[in-house]
Amino acid sequence: MDVKIEKKKGLRGIKPRYWVYGSIAAAVLGAFVWIATSDMASTYKVDKVGLNIADVKKGQFDDFVRVDGRVLPIRTVQISPEEGGIVREIVAEEGTRVKKGDVIVRLSNSNLDLQILNAEAELAEKQNILRNTQISMEQDRLNNRNEQAQLDLEVTRKRRAHEQQKRLYDEKLTPREDYLQSKEDYELAVRRQSLVNQRLDKDSIFRLSQVDQMEENLANMQRNVVLIRERKEHLNIVSDIDGELGLLDVELGQNITAGQKIGQINDLSDYKVEAQIDEHYIDRVRAGLDATFERGGQRYDMRVRKVYPEVREGKFRVEFLFTDAHPDNIRSGQTYYMNLQLGQSTDAVLIPKGTFYSTTGGKWIFVVDKDGKNAYRRNIRLGRQNPQYYEVLEGLEPGERVIVNGYEAYGDSKKLKIN
């Protein structure tokens, strides 16, 4: 008898084509789930009330930077004594107007007084030695002249005796020995005269050289005494310029060393303005650039005098000079808010400055869509900047809107959902 075989139910009973359809459906569902979850992960919900949304516009870009400048005297001269000593008297006080040569502080230095006494005593001793040497040389000169005169007389007598003996010898009236002896005595006297003259000439040259050297040493000592006396004058600390005594840091009885800074004098014949500028502009700021500021309803023009290349704490130093008049009530230490012109004004795409720059570095920004419900991250490229605007080079078009407040809370979000 035949047995009826029933079809098996369950997964094994599913036809192969249904397996294919199911796999495709599962893949599509997974893709939708992944897109949905990834989009949710990169989306950050924000409240519209806390957003600073600005319009991208086309307009004139004024290439300037605003800097805070501090008024300083045109020149400051440091007060440093050439000689150290004890403060004996303070003649001028801080804020006093002084002229060149005016005494500011008087010092005393007992060691310097002792050096002056020693130098003067040594000078007197050298003068006595030179005087005694000159007297001795004069005596030697007289003795030498006397010796020379005696030798001249001796040569004359020996020559006369020799000539007389020669005549007698020629007439055979005297022995040959007497003639030869007179000749030898005469020749010896001549040689002695020559030798003595050579010695006297050398002694004269030596003594003259000795005197010249002693006189030179004496002159050096005299100059040394003069310099030491001048050092005593340096105990009076005087002003090197006409100006105002801006600082004087000394007390009566204080011991001050040579070269120590004790104060400064401000030259108030003119003024300069010094500013600290962000290092972002260091390649663009140079000597000769113009700057302006307003005070009391009047505009004043300035020009960059010097740019210091060193950067400290993210800023570099710049000096400005007035090109025309300066405010009548100008005072050292005042602050002026200046506009430093970096280049010519041009037409450009602009966005207002905002704190977003500190997070993005100007490389990207959140752009709000047309309905204002979402904002999407977009790469951009910024150029110059001034106190109000950034210049947009790429990535934005006039009429678009962007978020310019800080992005610290948004993390790595690619999309902002605006509620």
Pick the CATH number of 65-70+271-341 from 3.90.25.10, 2.40.33.10, 2.30.30.790, 2.40.30.170: 2.40.30.170
DSSP 74-116: EEEEEE--SS-EEEEEE---TT-EE-TT-EEEEEE-HHHHHHH
Give the model confidence (pLDDT) of 94-152 as tens digits. 888 999 999 999 998 888 888 878 877 877 777 777 777 777 777 877 887 888 888 88
Per-run averaged pLDDT (10 residues), the chain, 419 residues: 49 54 60 48 81 92 90 92 91 90 91 82 78 77 82 86 85 84 86 84 78 78 78 87 89 91 91 92 91 90 93 94 89 91 89 91 92 92 89 93 90 87
Question: What pLDDT shows up at residue 269?
Answer: 87
Domain 75-109+237-256 architecture:
Beta Barrel (2.40)
Question: What pLDDT shows up at residue 201?
Answer: 80
CA pair distance 173, 210, nearest whole angstrom:
56
Radius of gyration in angstroms for the set of CA atoms belonging to the chain, rounded to a whole number: 52
Q: Give every CB contact of residue 5 below 8 A, 6+ residues apart in sequence.
A: none
Instruction: Report the DSSP pairing between strands 415-418 and 43-46.
Output: parallel
Question: What pLDDT shows up at residue 1?
Answer: 44
Question: What pLDDT shows up at residue 13?
Answer: 53
Domain 43-63+346-418 architecture:
Beta Barrel (2.40)
What does the domain layout of the chain look like in residue ranges?
Answer: 43-63+346-418, 65-70+271-341, 75-109+237-256, 111-233
The SS3 call for residue 2 is coil
Question: What pLDDT shows up at residue 393?
Answer: 94
DSSP 268-326: EEEEEEEEEEEGGGTTT--TT-EEEEEETTEEEEEEEEEEEEEEETTEEEEEEEESS--
- Do 65-70+271-341 and 75-109+237-256 fold alike per CATH? no
Question: What pLDDT shows up at residue 366?
Answer: 94
CA pair distance 225, 233, nearest whole angstrom:
13
CB 246 within 8 A of CB 266: yes
Q: What is the DSSP letter of 408?
A: G
- What six digits make up the tokens of 163? 């000539």
CB 374 within 8 A of CB 336: no
Question: What pLDDT shows up at residue 331?
Answer: 87
